[in-house]
Structure 1
Amino acid sequence: MQDFLELMVSATASGCIYALVALAYLLVARPTGIINFAVGEWAALGAFAGYVAFSVLSLPYAVGMALVLAVMFCAGWLTERLLVHPLILRQAPPLAAVLVLLGLLVVMRELLSLAFGPDPYSVPPGLGFGRFELGPVGGSTQSLFIICTTLAVFGAAWVFFERSLTGKSFSAVALNRRAAALMGIHLARVTSLSFAGAAMVAGLAGLLVAPMTSAHYLMGLPLAIQGFTALVIGGAQRVSGALFGGLVLAFAEQLTVRYVPVAAGLSLGVPLVVLIIFLLFKPEGLTGKRQGHA
């Protein structure tokens, strides 16, 4: 029983990572309609930025985390300004931006490989190496840190979208960009902030998962697949859907690897199978509503 409970803690922590990557997708897709598959490479950039901040510069964790988030904010903002904004000005279809961001994925991966080489790098955990025990439930302190940080991020995202004027402008742009512009909402600012915020969330996911998996230049693609699958599972209409989808995917993945005779190296196939099932039978996700047909 204790082994099963520890598996649940580990799955919850993994689900929180997937949920953060799904939230990064959602922050861009909601106001722009663009699926940004470069979020996985943003997560890898956050992991390597954490390595530099903590292992190279030896900064205190709070200072290093703030520095990583600042770097990711700049990375997301520059991505929108240099690559996406010119396409919007030319009224290019969303597919053009998706293809450009796929190109960015390849470029970022190669740049990380050139800068850090093929070897993995260890990143220190936020609460140190250790365990926590809460009655029969136990696990690594990094898992606890991931869960608490993710809940704080999703709480802040809910307050932003539901209680702040800027968050409501994001929702207005998502509903109708033209009408939002006529109401005085600055579309370019909303788009820039959506990319900057998504980069910060994705970089945070990479920073949190790096102590458990190490920072490696190939870590972005699995996170991109898992995060996108989590978004499809939960539904792209609500912030809570990203969290719910990440948890569902992680539990399905880890329970399959633990109790089904499947090689651990094939665990990446679980999100792909789940993704296909949801796209075929429930494309609106678990928290979305099926659109009626005319």
Structure 2
Amino acid sequence: MPARLARRRGAGHGGLRGAGSRVRARRARRHARRAAAREPEHLPRLRRLQRRARAGGRAVTRVLGVGLLTGWGAGVAALPEDARRAAGDRRVVPLVTPPLAGERFRRATRECLLGVAAVEAALRESGLSRAAVAGPRTALVYVTAAAYAASNKGFIEGAGTTLHFPYTAPSAVPAEVAIEYGLTGGYVILVGGAAAAVDALWQAGTLLAAGRADTALVLAVETFDECADLWARGRWAAPRPLVEAAACAVLVGSGDDSGYGPGAASTLEALVARRAGETLACAPLVGLALARAAGAPHARVTGRWRGRRAQIAVAT
């Protein structure tokens, strides 16, 4: 009996010793955390300054190139001085579907083909090969307000089969682009007009700043021709002419000093509306292409959609 009691006391004492060790360990960890918190490198503002200093000064998102296809033609050189006058009586200025070879594109919708062609043009403008963007270090941010309307309208009216059903989703365009160029990095889809495209530029910059990508593609595609009758009924939603477009900006950098947020309309926004017409989500990317063509080192692009206007600044 005394032996059993001794064993119990020993066991109990051993348990207390273990508990005491855990208490001391917790105290040590708390002390270490308090000490670490007092170190200057743990101050958020100083850490941000340190990161910028290592980056070599003020860090911003930079545009390597913009691929632009519109109903007026390829690039900013094809844009008229006055889109409304150039359109005449046309409410919609359609974009010619690019002839892409390959069995995989046999069932692809027109908007998918336009997205693939816009990325190809952007890589060409940026001096990048397909191999340079393939893999997990390239992010893809896609935005549209209208490009998936045509496939939905066709499917509802019975023109499509179950094989075409996947193309009714907004994700169809970036999916085709990701497959074609071997993109396996971050992937974001936004639905909306010009303000959403500004959001897309910010989202791409955020992925770059977080180190989740080395390169980001911001892609916008807008088509109207197949739904011209619907747009005519809802003509209050967008001014004429509606100009089909596909645009892609290639972004690099590691900065977040973008001035992103609400803002007044920029002069670039007015210039895009005058020269390109209404391109919805493509408008901010058209603005970047115009800024680069003019040799501007920086550009503040703005966009408005359903009463909300957003702005962002990037190096061009």
TM-score, with length taken from structure 1: 0.28
Going by fraction, where is helix more abundant, 1 or 2?
1
Going by fraction, where is strand more abundant, 1 or 2?
2
If asked which structure has higher relative contact order (CA below 8 Å, sep 6+), I would say 1
